[in-house]
Each structure stands twice: as C-alpha cells, then as structure tokens.
Structure 1
Amino acid sequence: MDAYLLFLIVTIATVMSPGPGVLLTLTNAIRFGVSGAVGGIMGLAIGAFIVAGVSATGLGILLATSALAFTVLKFIGAAYLIHLGIKLWRSPATPVEISGGTRRSISRQFIQGLSLQLTNPKAVFFFLSVLPQFVDYDAAHVHQFALLVVTYSLVLVIIHLIYAGLARTTRQWLASPKGGRLVNRLGGGTFMCFGVGLAATSR
C-alpha cells in the first residue's frame, strides 16, 4: 500500500480532533489520573477495532444504505452522550486520588469508552469511507484491512495517552472543589451538546 503514509496522516488528524472520545479521556485523566484514563482509552481503541470490523460487514453496508438503521443508531448514541453529560454534571466535586482508579473504576471506564465508540455512527462511516480508499483489492485486501485497523487503534491509544498526560499537568488545580465543579459542568455540558448535535445530524 503506497498510500499507507497518507492514511497514517489522516488517522492522526482524525484522532487528534476534538470529540466525545477526547473529552472522555481528558475528563478521566483529570479526575482519576493517567492510570484512571487507561481503561477508557482501551475501550475506545477496542471499540474502534470492532466498529471497523462491523463496517466491513453487511451491517456496515446496511447502516450506509438504510436511513432507519442510521437513525436508530444515531439516537442510541445521542442518548448515551446526553446520559453521560447529565451524570457528570450532577457528580459531586470529589478529590482526585493520586494513586489513580481502582480495578473496578478501570473496568467502568473501559465500558464507558467501548460504549461511546460503539454507539457513534460517525465512526462507522469513517471506516466505510476512508478505509476502501487505501486498500488495493487486487491484492490480499484482508491483510491490508487488518493493518489499517490496527494502525488506527494504536494511533488512538498513543494520542489519547498524550492527552491524558497533558491533562495530568493541570490536575492539582482542577482536583480542587472549585476546579472539580468546573470540570463537571464543562464536561457534562459538552457531552450533552455532543449528544444534541449527534441527534441533529443527517446523512
């Protein structure tokens, strides 16, 4: 694949762009530390891997061609984002533990990240529209597809870990009661805005 470098650049730009996944990583890193954000990051990466696989199947084609299927998944994703936003908005400003999240909290963050990625119809259409342009179907395209998907997932993990590390530098102030309330309000409000925006999108 001669266009692999171009795909890598497109992937980096896509993953770095602000969105619900980036917000989730920043919020988790600020509230629970970098280790507490790892679960959500892995959930996002595994979710991207699953979405990429689904996009190559009949379900992906269905979502691309069926307005009903797109609408159902769109509103599921929007409802989940709004749910996260309301929950975060109403959360008390609790001190951040320096030791990071417990195993249970890591599992919870993983499920959040996975659910967030799986209920994002735009992720499906990204893989449907981008991946085919970088695959040579005259060759063994299964191996090419696997390489592109693994590349995307690895880039996501690396960039989100960088985001988590940057968020960690402001953690002390944001972990204070005032900063904690600010994080909860901004994060919750942004999640709700993403949810409303997703619900309002069209094909």
Structure 2
Amino acid sequence: MQLYLLFLLMAAATVASPGPGVVMTLSNALRYGLRGTFGGILGIAFGALVVAAISATSLGVLLATSAQAFTLLKFIGAAYLVYLGIRLWRAPPFDFSTQATPSASFPRRFVEGLSLQLTNPKAVFFFLSIFPQFIDPARDYSLQFATLVLTYSALVVCIHCTYARFARRAKAWLTSPRGGRIVNKTAGVTFIGFGAALASASR
C-alpha cells in the first residue's frame, strides 16, 4: 500500500472540512450534548463504508490494468481537491441557527447520518477518484481496500466525536464570522496543497 501517511492526512482533512456531516454533528452536539451525536456519527461512518464499496471496488480491475485510467483519475482527483479548496476559501461561515432540528432518537439520527453520507458528493468523489490512487495493484487488493476504508471510517468517528466534544465550548467562536472564516480558509489552503501533492504523486 503506497503513501499511507498521505492518505491518512487527506482523509482526515476531507472528514474534518466544513460540510453537511460536520454541520449535523455540531448541531446535534449543541442541541443534545455528546451522547446525542453518536447515532448520526455512526451513520456517517457506516455510509462511508457503503460509498467506498460502491465507488472503489468497481475501479479495482480497471486501475490495475490501465495506466491511462490511473493518470486520468489522479488528475481529476487533484483538480477536485483544488476546486474544493477554492470553494472553501470563498465560502461564508456556516450558520448553525438555520439547520433543522433532527429527532433525538438514536435510530433516526443514524438513518439521517447514513442518508446524508450516501448523498454527499464530497465522499462519493473522494472514493471514486482519490481513494484508488493509494491502492498498489501489485499487492492484495482486498486487504488494502479494507485497511483504507476502515481507516477512513475510524477517522469519521474520531474527528466527529472531537467536534462534538468541543462544540459547546467553542460555540461562540464557531458561529462568529471570524472563526468561520479561519476554518474555511485553513481548510481551503489544505485542500489546494493536497491537490498539488496528488497531482505530483507517481504510481
């Protein structure tokens, strides 16, 4: 498995970047406390497994046999990361007060998190065009796939629990224009840098 550390950093940045999943976790934490976030977080993590299975496994044979497909997807993924970085840099801070209040039921929050992840273009594109770049076709595909996907899902749980843990303490800063701008611009620069790194990576 190639460049695992780079994958770890890219996956962590993707999970931690502002998006619907992060907003849902923060909103649940602000309304229900830490325990009230677990259903949604686990739903998002499980959704990542489903998206990965659908998006990445179908590309395994193609990427193992076609250098052209590998190169094409590499540059598509790099371009997407740069685009995401520019969009985050320009984006206004999230307004948590406009988020709909979800049900406090654990099963309903799990389904909410799962459905959100299944329709999240950021997750779909990550597994479709970026994820396969870290698979070594000369080694066992199943083991590498399982390792990377479980790593991503574990990052979802860890990072979202961290967000939930500090949501109330950081509420004023997170919802302030200055705090929101800092979060967006930091994430934007990070994604642009990862896009450049992915474009220059070799098989």
Change (3 A) 1:142 1:17: same
RMSD: 2.8
The answer to whether structure 1 residue 146 and structure 2 residue 165 are counterparts is: no
Q: TM-score, normalization: structure 2?
A: 0.61
Equivalence for 1:42: 42
After TM superposition, the structure 1 = structure 2 runs for residues 32-181 of structure 1, keeping only pairs within 5 Å, are 32-58=32-58, 88=100, 105-169=105-169
Matched residue count = 137
- Structure 1 ranges of 4+ moved more than 4 A: none
Secondary structure in 2 aligned to 1:112?
helix
Q: Distance in 1 between matches of 2:106 and 2:167?
A: 18
Q: Distance in 1 between matches of 2:147 and 2:58?
A: 21
Quick check: 1:40–1:113 contact (8 Å CA) kept in 2?
A: yes
One-letter code aligned to 2:45: A
Quick check: 1:47–1:118 contact (8 Å CA) kept in 2?
A: yes
Secondary structure in 2 aligned to 1:154?
helix
Q: CA deviation at 1:131?
A: 1.4
One-letter code aligned to 2:47: G
Equivalence for 1:20: 20
Q: TM-score, normalization: structure 1?
A: 0.61
Q: Distance in 2 between matches of 1:26 and 1:106?
A: 16
Equivalence for 2:86: none
One-letter code aligned to 1:158: C
Quick check: 2:21–2:117 contact (8 Å CA) kept in 1?
A: yes
Q: CA deviation at 1:58?
A: 4.9
Q: CA deviation at 1:147?
A: 0.4
Q: Deviations over 1:170-191 (max 9, x none)?
A: 57x9xxxxx9xxxxxxxxxxxx
Q: Distance in 2 between matches of 1:139 and 1:58?
A: 17
Q: Distance in 1 between matches of 2:120 and 2:160?
A: 18
Q: Distance in 2 between matches of 1:145 and 1:57?
A: 8
Q: CA deviation at 1:168?
A: 3.0
Q: Deviations over 1:135-169 (max 9, x none)?
A: 00111011101100000000111000000011132
Q: Deviations over 1:35-93 (max 9, x none)?
A: 0001100000000111000103559x9xxxxxxxxxxxxxxxxxxxxxxx9881xx6xx
For structure 2, the residue ranges without an aligned partner over 5 or more in a row are 63-96, 176-203
Q: Distance in 2 between matches of 1:111 and 1:52?
A: 18
Percent of residue pairs identical: 54
Quick check: 1:43–1:111 contact (8 Å CA) kept in 2?
A: yes
One-letter code aligned to 2:128: L
One-letter code aligned to 1:42: L
For structure 1, the residue ranges without an aligned partner over 5 or more in a row are 62-84, 92-100, 174-178, 180-203
Equivalence for 1:66: none
Secondary structure in 2 aligned to 1:138?
coil
